[in-house]
Structure formats: C-alpha cells, structure tokens
Structure 1
Amino acid sequence: MQSVHPILASRPGELSTREKLVLSMTAEGKTAGDIAEELHISQRTVHAHLQNASEKMQAANKTQTVVEAMRYGQIQLR
C-alpha cells in the first residue's frame, strides 16, 4: 500500500487517544471482539469509539473513517 501523506496536521474534530487506537487496530483488520479483548473493554465501547470517530471525521462508514483519519494524519499503520 502506498503511503498516504497528511493533508493537514489536524482537522476539526481531533480524535481522542482511544479513538485513534481503536481505528488503528481496525485498520489492521482486527474485529470489534479482538479489540475489546485486547483493550479489556466491551464490544459496545469499541463500537462507541468507532461511531464517535466517524462523526468527527464526517465519514459514512468504518472504512471511510479509517481512510480519513489516515489522510489527516491522525492515525498511521504500524
């Protein structure tokens, strides 16, 4: 995958540390169940973080949320 350079250093709706972590793990292909288990939180909390991030990124779905977060330099693939 080709590197995506940030358009801006930050964007209105800066993601929280936890939202960034959940999105990064999602980008790695982990399921909500995997993320919940690894972070010791419920799947419902994982989905809440994804929903909040989606709203902040003004994205229509989880995939677009990950892409927008990468475009705006809020997450990076490890």
Structure 2
Amino acid sequence: MAKKLKTKTEEIRKLSDVDIEKELEEAHRRLFSLRLQSETRQITNHRELPAAKRLIARLKTIQRQRQLAAVGEAQ
C-alpha cells in the first residue's frame, strides 16, 4: 500500500503547476459531491471521502513545496 501512495505522489510531482491547480479544483468538487452523497445516504463506498481529503492534502503539500522552493531560489 505504501508503494501505491508513493507512486501517486510521484505522479503528482510530475504535473505542472497549472495541472496541479486543475486537479485541486477537481478534487474539491469531488469532495463536495461525496459530502452531499454522504448526507443524503447515497454514498456506496465510504472510504472515498477520506481518500479525497488525502488527495487534496497531497496536492496542497506539493503546491506549497514548490512555492517555498521558488521563494528560496529568488533570495
């Protein structure tokens, strides 16, 4: 399982900044949809909700790392 997460993170790192932003928007929409389904008792796989949150966290982490690296290079 750890290998799968590493692979997902590596795939995210290969994306451009614009692509990461698009993925982040899509992940937020997916999380909203899952929360709505959860509240209306329509969700079939309850593990999708935490997985969506983890994906958002990964995307934001990599985005922030790139921002800090850019600031470090500028100084």
Q: Which has the higher contact order (CA 8 A, sep 6+)?
A: 1
Please tell me whether Structure 1 or Structure 2 has the larger radius of gyration of its CA atoms: 2
Q: TM-score, normalised by structure 1?
A: 0.33
| TM-score, structure 2 as length reference | 0.34
**If each structure's helix is expressed as a fraction of its own residues, which one has the higher value?**
2
